[in-house]
Structure 1
Amino acid sequence: MMQRFGDWLAGHDLPSPPELSEAGIAAALAIVALALGWFAGRRIGGRIAEYWSRDADHGPLFSGRICDVIRHGVATLLLGILLSAWPWHPLAALGLGFATGAAAALFTVAVLRGLNLPRWIAWGVAAIAFAAILSHAIGGFAATQDTLDRVGVQIGQRRLTLLSLLSIAVTVLLLFAGVRLFNRMLTRWIAGARGFDPTQKLLFQKLAAIAAVVVAFFVGIDLLEIDLTAFTVFSGAFGLAIGFGLQKTIGNLIAGIILLMDRSIKPGDVIVVGDSFGWVNKIGVRAVSVVTRDGKEHLIPNEILMTQEVENWSYTDRNVRVRIPVTVAYDSDLKLAQALMLRAAKESPRALDDPPTNVRLAAFGESGVEHEILTWISDPESGVGNVKSDVLNRLWVMFQEHGISLALPQREVRLLGDEARRG
């Protein structure tokens, strides 16, 4: 067809009437295909976009680009069928090739930008797609391949050409985009699945993401026809480097998987690790994110959670008992003081009715009678200090109203007389 197109350029000043008629038919069919693409993007794409934004939490993925993807995808498919369904004359093939290439380029931009890839990558791949489709339409794709394949260098037993570099770049980009889309869709599907707790869902998401990367790697190796035997020595050295230099990283990775499997720590749990107290925000591949009451986010390596003592306040039950020490003077009415303590704790908004609040006499101290208020809360992630503060504030007002005195430090000093000192 490339020879026919060249002959037509060389031997004809104006196209013949049959060629003009065929070009007109091709143009009309192309307009119909573009119109159908626009209609599909408006109707089908609109419904998909509405579902995507309403029933799916995909974040910025394909945000506002669903209609463009459907519109240009349908147009590209229909134009491709038209281009391949009939042996068009050069003028008609040129028009259809240009329209198909442009639609494919816009479809590529919509998909890659929807996957949040940089603009220059999206438009670069779109330009390659446009050039490939247009050259194929006019019969010059093989010549383009030969030209790109002739430009290159010999590296060992393998020849590296522009065509191979372009194939590697496009393959890696498509695999990356596919893995990213697969992970987002699978994450959404797992998040909406019933019968799994948050920890199991997170574990499945992590394992699926790792599996997708591994599958994409081997698929890319197969598509690019890379001989893995050439990397035998390198893989051995790399494994040795992992064994020595990356053992902490690998240890944290394995520890994170174990934490997700045994569900000893889950997102939302309230834990205490050393001096860090807060609720688990996220369990990552390397570390666990713990958000404190001060709004600070501590990243604790997974290996620490496996080897050190961890207090999990919500491991089997989210109810946590809060201890509030109170000491009253010895001359106070203990029955009344204890009743006021119980009332102050029960009136606190976060205190639970079940398990019930109790007041215990702890000890007869040096300065007064020591009591302990024991109350329960079900939201430890909101902190325990504010519960103590609320109960003590209420109790202070009640003690003032009923004449209950708090204990003050007391010391007894005895002075000996002169006779006692001389004796």
Structure 2
Amino acid sequence: MQGETPTSVASTASAPPVEQAWSLAEPVREESAVAAAEGAKEALSSKSETVGSVIDTLDAVALSFGSFRISLFDVLIVSAVIVGVLVFAWFVSKMGRRLMRRMTRLDEAQQLLAEKIVTILVWAAAFFLGIDLLGIDLTALAVFSGAFGLAIGFGLQKTFGNLIAGIILLMDRSIKPGDVIAVTDMAGNESFGQIRKIGIRAVSVTTRDQREYLIPNENLMINQVENWSYSSKNVRMQVPVGVSYEADMKLAEELMLEAAKSCDRILKAPPPTVWMSEYGDSSVNFIIHCWIQDPEEGVGNVRSAVLKKLWWLFKENGVEIPFPQRDLHIRSSDQFDRLIDIMAQGKGGASTAKE
């Protein structure tokens, strides 16, 4: 009995090393970088053996980079969470915009600014919510995060610049939807248009001929902008008119004022005025100054209405609208005199032949 005791003790003492060696020989399973996938796998596998086998099959298809492992099942879980977060963020931001529009105490510019801020906050919260739901181990992406962040920073630099510029424009109320500003096309022709929308990247300006200009927000921040309705929507416009030197100037001025006052869109106060601008080559030139308060409805149509009315007033009162006139002086010379004599002789011979 005493001889067997050491043997049993030795066998018992040798058991743990054998078990440790067996455990070290087993393959070590690499943890997934997406913790949400592991939690979903355990939850779904406990429901059904069939579902568990399908999940194991999808999880077996994987790529490993060092300690980083991602399987097909991880990709599906990540895609489902991303789609769900995007739909949730879109729905919440849409409801937030509707709520802002119902707040009648805010004007149009303040509503748009509030909508932009709410949208930014919702999407930022959705991003962090998605990271939290997925349980992504960001340290596994440390190798790529620096280069990826730098590329995103340079690629989206203008986008974020235009976004911040649009928010600043709305905050200082220098540019707001409904304003009428002067814009210049690629050929250098200036026209005016009404601001329809201030987006994340650009401001939409629609002209009277329904051409839509998309001007980056940064351009409106750093360049000079002619805003016709910044502090007031009243705009003074000019209608040039020329009359003959033989016309009655006082009567012509009275008719110009009458034509301007007959237009419905021209304001009575301040009243229209007529200024003589210059003595032209063929006419005495005047400018009719008049005010309107709805420039978004057009300026050319008001000018046309005034000129049409003035045309008939000038006709009725005998005021002449001049046309270009030139006096031609020909210097005399021997060759020119002989040419005149030849032409005169030819005319005399032709009249004799007729007789």
Normalising by the smaller structure, the TM-score range is 0.7 to 0.9
* Paired position in structure 2 for 1:223: 133
Contact 1:149 1:161 in 2 (8 A): no
For residue 166 of structure 1, report the CA deviation from its aligned partner: 4.4
For residue 390 of structure 1, report the CA deviation from its aligned partner: 0.9
Distance 2:138 2:77 in 1: 18
Percent of pairs with identical residues:
50
* Paired position in structure 1 for 2:52: 146
Distance 1:144 1:216 in 2: 34
* Paired position in structure 1 for 2:86: 176
| Deviation readout 1:96-149 (Å, 9 max, x if unpaired) | xxxxxxxxxxxxxxxxxxxxxxxxxxxxxxxxxxxx9xx99xx97254653344
For residue 208 of structure 1, report the CA deviation from its aligned partner: 1.2
Distance 1:232 1:149 in 2: 28
CA RMSD in angstroms, aligned pairs only: 2.8
2:209 pairs with 1:299: no
| Deviation readout 1:337-379 (Å, 9 max, x if unpaired) | 1111111111112111122211112222222221110111111
Instruction: Identify the match of residue 63 of structure 2 among 136, 140, 155.
Output: 155
* Paired position in structure 2 for 1:401: 316
Distance 1:141 1:418 in 2: 118
CA change 1:218–1:253 in 2 (3 A) is same
* Paired position in structure 2 for 1:167: 77
Calculate the TM-score normalised by the size of structure 2.
0.73
* Paired position in structure 2 for 1:29: none
Contact 1:325 1:372 in 2 (8 A): yes
2:99 pairs with 1:189: yes
Distance 2:170 2:116 in 1: 10
CA change 1:205–1:264 in 2 (3 A) is same
Distance 2:175 2:143 in 1: 40
Contact 2:204 2:213 in 1 (8 A): yes
For residue 158 of structure 1, report the CA deviation from its aligned partner: 5.1
* Paired position in structure 1 for 2:344: none
Contact 2:68 2:140 in 1 (8 A): no
Partner AA of 1:209 in structure 2: T
2:284 pairs with 1:374: no
For residue 288 of structure 1, report the CA deviation from its aligned partner: 1.0
CA change 1:150–1:385 in 2 (3 A) is same
* Paired position in structure 2 for 1:251: 161
Contact 1:290 1:299 in 2 (8 A): yes
For residue 391 of structure 1, report the CA deviation from its aligned partner: 0.7
* Paired position in structure 1 for 2:111: 201
Contact 1:148 1:162 in 2 (8 A): no
Partner AA of 2:218 in structure 1: E
Distance 2:130 2:78 in 1: 9
2:250 pairs with 1:342: no
CA change 1:366–1:299 in 2 (3 A) is same
2:301 pairs with 1:386: yes
Q: Gaps spanning 5+ residues in structure 2: where? A: 1-39, 186-190, 335-355
CA change 1:355–1:229 in 2 (3 A) is farther
For residue 254 of structure 1, report the CA deviation from its aligned partner: 2.5
Instruction: Identify the match of residue 281 of structure 1 among 181, 192, 196.
Output: 196
Distance 1:414 1:160 in 2: 96
Q: Which has the higher contact order (CA 8 A, sep 6+)?
A: 2
Larger helix share, 1 or 2 = 1
Contact 1:273 1:309 in 2 (8 A): no
Q: The residue matched to 1:141 in structure 2 has which SS? A: coil
Partner AA of 1:280 in structure 2: I
Contact 2:260 2:272 in 1 (8 A): yes
Distance 2:216 2:170 in 1: 14
Distance 1:161 1:203 in 2: 43
* Paired position in structure 2 for 1:315: 230
Instruction: Identify the match of residue 351 of structure 1 among 266, 270, 274.
Output: 266
